[in-house]
């Protein structure tokens, strides 16, 4: 049983029903919809297809809504794609969305000119995920125009992201458009929401005022790295978004940031996702490079809960093959991962966290994992309303399967992001004894546990109320 989860981005190469069904069968656990591209109508259609594909395969697949965030983008281009050459001169027209060309490109944010004039934007700007580098030569703040020289050329496309190293406090932390997209996402059944370009914990807190969906903070700004512990505590999950992070930071710093974020997420019992360019060669090739395979394996050995495919499945030639390859690498690497050592060490760290004094759910998670080791249990069964108990047990990396059972379809799907957790629905119970008995019967019915094997079950008093997990019971299935 593979325990590391796979997040796959859905795009033009993968949004047809047949390909989605094959990706689910290949191992996709979470389908990512990038709301920086495409229309709402397209996203609604794709979400419906994902749900249908998952139901037909009998698997739980969560939908992750990735919000654009306060990211700067250039406006449209007349030819949609323009080639910039080193040594060319280019004018950025701020506060405009007029179609551009190789000499003039619009940028919708009017404040960029004043930020550049004050020096807040720095001297360099980047397009095309950092492959095109521009250097500011002159700022005409009154005309809202910036003259730049192309230092490193390449192709740019309409609505492409514009990276500006520096602290731009003028940009809104949570654009109103993101709040509107959250409401739309809820209407089409998304399960998780990823926040782009988070800079501080307050950015997460602001979004939480508008939704009850679990929030994933993407670490892709230097300010986020500086505030990472507070951001993780404020979030339900964290993503190491290495693409923009590698532009905003020195690229040689990214591996150490990844290790630090994954370790901290494990300590704080938050699921983690490692993202960007993991199997990028598979955009065009049927096989990844050896370096990419090593990168995926190292992320697992660093302790990531999930791995994310971006362009590989969104626009690549082998979306199903990329998912299958990721699953294969994960299964092989997990055989060598030191989960037994992590289990003991993480138990000590998580249960001694100073921000959860006296929380019985942490103690129950500790005892569940200790019992699984000492009694050689076949599985840990976690009835849950919110998914929190499953998350805490998952964070300890037990060596036995974790089965999360919930009456809520959304809760079951959200568990698809948690390391080692497999979810299914069960009816709601008001009596704890009935809850435990039905949970054990359900996993036997599903064929997950053999009758007669010994399992551990968590429960709460009173039953049927989220956040009350306080009991652990060992019994025969």
CB 431 within 8 A of CB 439: no
CB 183 within 8 A of CB 160: no
- Residue 32 appears among annotated catalytic residues: yes
| Among 5, 133, 218, 413, the one annotated catalytic | 218
Cα(80)–Cα(115) distance, rounded to whole angstroms? 27
CB 109 within 8 A of CB 133: no
Cα(192)–Cα(213) distance, rounded to whole angstroms? 6
Q: What are phi and psi of 284, to 5 degrees?
A: -120, -25
List, in sequence order, every beta strand (DSSP E) within 256-407: 272-275, 306-309, 379-383, 402-406
DSSP track, 153-210: -EEEETT-BEE--S--TTS-SS-HHHHHHHHHHHHHT--EEEETT--SHHHHHHHHTT
- Residue 290 appears among annotated catalytic residues: no
Give me the residues paired with residue 215 across strands: 193
Please say whether the dihedral angle defined by the alpha carbons of residues 79, 84, 85 and 87, taken in this order, is positive or negative.
positive
CB 205 within 8 A of CB 227: no
Q: Omega of the bond prior to 462 within 30 degrees of 0, cis?
A: yes
List, in sequence order, every beta strand (DSSP E) within 175-326: 192-195, 215-219, 237-241, 272-275, 306-309
| Among 274, 276, 384, 432, the one annotated catalytic | 276
Annotate 195-229 with b (16+ C-beta within 10 A) or e (fewer). Answer: bbbbbbbebbebbbeebebbbbbbbbbbbbbebbe
Residue listed under structure tokens 């609505």: 159
| Among 3, 5, 32, 397, the one annotated catalytic | 32
Structure tokens at 54: 């998952």
Q: Pairing state of beta strands 145-152 and 89-94?
A: antiparallel
Reduce the DSSP state of residue 373 to 3 states and report it.
Answer: helix
CB 107 within 8 A of CB 96: yes
- Residue 259 appears among annotated catalytic residues: no
| Among 40, 45, 59, 73, the one annotated catalytic | 73
Q: What are the catalytic residues? A: 32, 73, 218, 276
């Amino acid at each position: 049983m593979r325990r590391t989860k796979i997040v796959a981005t859905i795009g033009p190469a993968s949004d047809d029903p047949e390909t989605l069904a094959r990706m689910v069968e290949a191992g996709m656990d979470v389908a990512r919809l990038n709301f920086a591209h495409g229309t709402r109508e397209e996203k609604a259609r794709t979400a419906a297809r994902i749900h249908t594909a998952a139901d037909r395969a009998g698997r739980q697949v969560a939908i992750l809504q990735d919000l654009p965030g306060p990211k700067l983008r250039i406006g449209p281009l007349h030819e949609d794609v323009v080639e910039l050459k080193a040594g060319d001169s280019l004018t950025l027209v701020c506060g405009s969305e007029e179609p551009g060309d190789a000499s003039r490109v619009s940028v919708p944010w009017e404040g960029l000119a004043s930020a550049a004039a004050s020096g807040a934007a720095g001297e360099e700007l980047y397009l095309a995920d950092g492959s095109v580098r521009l250097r500011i030569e002159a700022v005409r703040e009154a005309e809202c125009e910036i003259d730049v020289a192309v230092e490193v050329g390449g192709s740019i496309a309409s609505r492409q992201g514009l990276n500006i190293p520096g602290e731009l406090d003028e940009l809104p932390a949570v654009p109103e458009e993101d709040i509107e997209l959250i409401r739309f996402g809820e209407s089409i059944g998304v399960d998780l929401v990823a926040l782009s370009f988070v800079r501080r914990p307050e950015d997460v807190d602001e979004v939480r005022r508008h939704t009850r969906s679990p929030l994933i903070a993407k670490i892709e700004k230097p300010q986020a790295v500086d505030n990472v512990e507070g951001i993780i505590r404020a979030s339900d999950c964290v993503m190491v978004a290495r693409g923009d992070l590698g532009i905003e930071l020195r690229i040689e710093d990214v591996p150490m940031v990844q290790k630090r974020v994954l370790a901290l997420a494990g300590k704080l019992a938050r699921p983690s996702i490692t993202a960007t360019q993991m199997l990028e060669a598979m955009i065009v090739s049927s096989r990844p490079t050896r370096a990419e395979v090593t990168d995926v394996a190292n992320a697992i050995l660093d302790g990531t809960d999930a791995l994310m495919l971006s362009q590989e499945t969104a626009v690549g030639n082998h979306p199903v093959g990329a998912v299958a390859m990721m699953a294969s690498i994960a299964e092989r690497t997990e055989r060598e991962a030191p989960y037994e050592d992590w289990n003991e060490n993480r138990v000590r760290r998580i249960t001694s966290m100073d921000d959860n004094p006296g929380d019985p759910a942490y103690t129950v998670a500790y005892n569940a994992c200790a019992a699984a080791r000492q009694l050689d249990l076949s599985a840990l069964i976690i009835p849950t309303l919110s998914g929190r108990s499953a998350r805490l047990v998952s964070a300890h990396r037990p060596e036995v399967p974790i089965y999360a059972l919930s009456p809520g379809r959304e809760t079951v799907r959200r568990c698809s992001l948690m390391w080692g957790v497999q979810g299914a629905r069960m009816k709601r119970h008001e009596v704890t004894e009935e809850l435990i008995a039905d949970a054990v019967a359900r996993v036997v019915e599903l064929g997950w546990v053999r009758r007669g094997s010994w399992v551990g079950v968590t429960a709460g008093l009173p039953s049927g109320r989220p956040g009350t997990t306080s009991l652990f019971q060992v019994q025969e299935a």
